[in-house]
């Protein structure tokens, strides 16, 4: 008995004594959950995997397990460059897609009433310039006018896509650029015919001529609007007015140094309209008017004789019908000969004569339209221009920001003044100072400048429209 008990004790001694060795636990304990002792478990048979790897897959597995060396550096760099190129291509494609979708969405917020009016005026201008330049024996003017119109439309839509706040926030940089441009023109500029005896408002780049003051008007509207926006709560303070006077006086003074009196008067008109839109007290306007009237005799007495004559003839062309008043008299004659219905397209007597109507494709384009289109054609043009100005003023009133409203007011003031002055010149009621009729007169710089101005107006409209659209959705 003792011998049997001793054998049983010896057989089960590891479990009874509670040895902690992991080896005995693995060897003698029952496998968890199987109910089978390790000695009773059948060994697993090794079965080879049935998957057959390609050489590329096998090589990848070997590299991952460290059995083979890594890929050579030149191959790694080649793969990396290929991956980077693919990534850049994907990012570029995504960027272009986002831009196109945003621009497509932007097109739904454009003021198409303004665009349509501008398009109609541009077509009339192309037709009028074609008729006015038939006697010159070249189609260069037609190609130039059509080309500038197409480029202008592209610039207009591109500028309308840009947030005008980006420009107004950097108005100091734009002001410096404008000052440098006008200063360069005043020093190195020439006249329209290449000479510098009369004025210095053109820059000649070979056969191409640029009139920087036309582009400078738009830059001035942006900077002056931003300046007024920063001082809108104290615009009637004397110190504020001195700063604004310095701003406008610097730009207008540089234009006067170019001896371009006509463009200087446009800048003055823009300034007055924008100050009025900024709610400057009417007492300041009244005081400025009284000072102008009081100083007019003194200013007139100090003018040169030819300057006095030009000014007087401007209001009464018959004082010098063969020289200074000749252009205005011929323009009046062409307008009167058109009658109600006009003489017909390309049938105007003065228009189709090489020498009877000077500057007929630029300053006197309204006389061409009136002679060949009659009263009906001239009234249609006036109504289109009037409608454009009213539409832009409406955009100013509906703008959600002061700077946007002032930009629209400045552009509307510019168009309004140029229209009144040009038609007044053609009727012999105002001095001939070389101001073009918006979108109708021939020109490169003037056409591009006008499309830039309308692009800014559309940018204000689009931003305001998106603002109210998103607010409505919320």
pLDDT-above-70 percentage for the chain: 74
Whose tokens are 């005995």? That residue is 24
Average per-residue pLDDT in the chain? 81
- Helix/strand/coil (H/E/C) assignment for every residue in 260-294: CHHHHHHHHHHHHHHHHHCCCCHHHHHHHHHHHHH
**Cα dist from 431 to 56, 269, 315, whole Å:** 87, 16, 6
Rounded CA separation 182/214 (Å): 10
pLDDT at 244 over 90: yes
Rounded CA separation 436/443 (Å): 8
303 near 311, Cβ under 8 Å? Answer: yes
- For residue 288, what are the contacts with CB-CB under 8 A and spacing of at least 6? none
pLDDT at 273 over 70: yes
Length of the chain: 474
- The arithmetic mean of pLDDT across residues 131-141, rounded, is 90
Rounded CA separation 326/322 (Å): 5
Q: Residue 190, SS3?
A: strand
Residue 203 β-bridge partners: 210
Asked which of 31-45, 139-153, 171-185, 325-339 is least confident by mean pLDDT, the reply is 31-45
pLDDT at 410 over 90: yes
pLDDT at 38 over 70: no
Note the pLDDT of residue 188. 87
Q: What pTM does this model have?
A: 0.76
Rounded CA separation 299/89 (Å): 67
Residue, of 4 and 402, whose pLDDT is higher = 402
Rounded CA separation 394/399 (Å): 9
Note the pLDDT of residue 179. 95
Burial zone of 196 (CB within 10 Å; 0-12 exposed, 13-18 middle, 19+ buried): middle
Give per-residue pLDDT as tens, 428-459.
Answer: 888 888 889 999 999 888 899 999 999 999 99
Give per-residue pLDDT as tens, 53-70.
Answer: 666 666 666 666 666 555
Give one word for 359, left, alpha or beta, with left for phi > 0 and alpha for psi -120 to 50: left
Residue 208 β-bridge partners: 205
Note the pLDDT of residue 471. 39
pLDDT at 73 over 90: no
């Amino acid at each position: 008995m003792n011998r049997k008990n001793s054998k049983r004790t010896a057989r089960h001694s590891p479990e009874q004594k509670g040895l902690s060795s992991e080896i005995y636990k693995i060897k003698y304990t029952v496998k968890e959950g199987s109910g089978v002792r390790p000695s009773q478990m059948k060994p697993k048979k090794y079965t080879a995997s049935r998957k057959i790897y390609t050489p590329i897959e096998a090589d990848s597995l070997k590299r991952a397990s460290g059995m083979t060396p890594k890929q050579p550096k030149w191959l790694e760099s080649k793969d990396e460059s290929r991956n980077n190129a693919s990534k850049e291509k994907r990012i570029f494609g995504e960027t272009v897609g986002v831009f196109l979708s945003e621009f497509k969405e932007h097109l739904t917020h454009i003021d198409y009433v303004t665009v349509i009016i501008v398009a109609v005026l541009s077509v009339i201008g192309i037709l009028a310039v074609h008729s006015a330049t038939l006697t010159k024996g070249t189609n260069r003017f037609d190609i130039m006018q059509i080309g500038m119109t197409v480029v202008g439309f592209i610039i207009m839509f591109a500028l309308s896509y840009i947030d005008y706040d980006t420009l107004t926030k950097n108005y100091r940089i734009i002001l410096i650029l404008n000052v440098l441009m006008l200063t360069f023109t005043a020093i190195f500029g020439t006249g329209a015919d290449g000479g510098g005896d009369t004025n210095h408002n053109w820059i000649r780049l070979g056969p191409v001529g640029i009139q920087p003051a036309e582009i400078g008007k738009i830059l001035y509207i942006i900077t002056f609007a931003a300046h007024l926006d920063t001082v809108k709560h104290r615009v009637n303070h004397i110190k504020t007015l001195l700063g604004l006077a310095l701003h406008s006086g610097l730009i207008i003074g540089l234009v006067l140094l170019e001896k371009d009196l006509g463009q200087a008067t446009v800048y003055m008109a823009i300034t007055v309209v924008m100050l009025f839109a900024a709610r400057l007290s009417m007492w300041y306007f009244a005081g400025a008017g009284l000072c102008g009237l009081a100083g007019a005799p003194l200013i007139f007495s100090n003018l040169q004789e030819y300057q006095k004559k030009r000014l007087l003839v401007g209001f009464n062309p018959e004082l010098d019908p063969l020289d200074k008043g000749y252009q205005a008299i011929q323009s009046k004659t062409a307008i009167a000969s058109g009658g109600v219905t006009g003489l017909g397209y390309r049938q105007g007597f003065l228009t189709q004569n090489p020498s009877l109507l000077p500057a007929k494709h630029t300053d006197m384009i309204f006389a061409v339209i009136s002679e060949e289109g009659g009263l009906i054609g001239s009234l249609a043009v006036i109504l289109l221009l009037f409608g454009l100005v009213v539409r832009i003023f409406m955009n100013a009133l509906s703008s959600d920001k002061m700077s946007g409203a002032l930009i629209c007011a400045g552009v509307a003031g510019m168009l309004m003044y140029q229209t009144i002055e040009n038609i007044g010149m053609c009727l012999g009621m105002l001095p001939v100072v070389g101001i073009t009729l918006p979108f109708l007169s021939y020109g490169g710089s003037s056409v591009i400048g006008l499309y830039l101005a309308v692009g800014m107006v559309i940018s204000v409209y689009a931003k305001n429209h998106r603002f109210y659209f998103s607010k409505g959705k919320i």
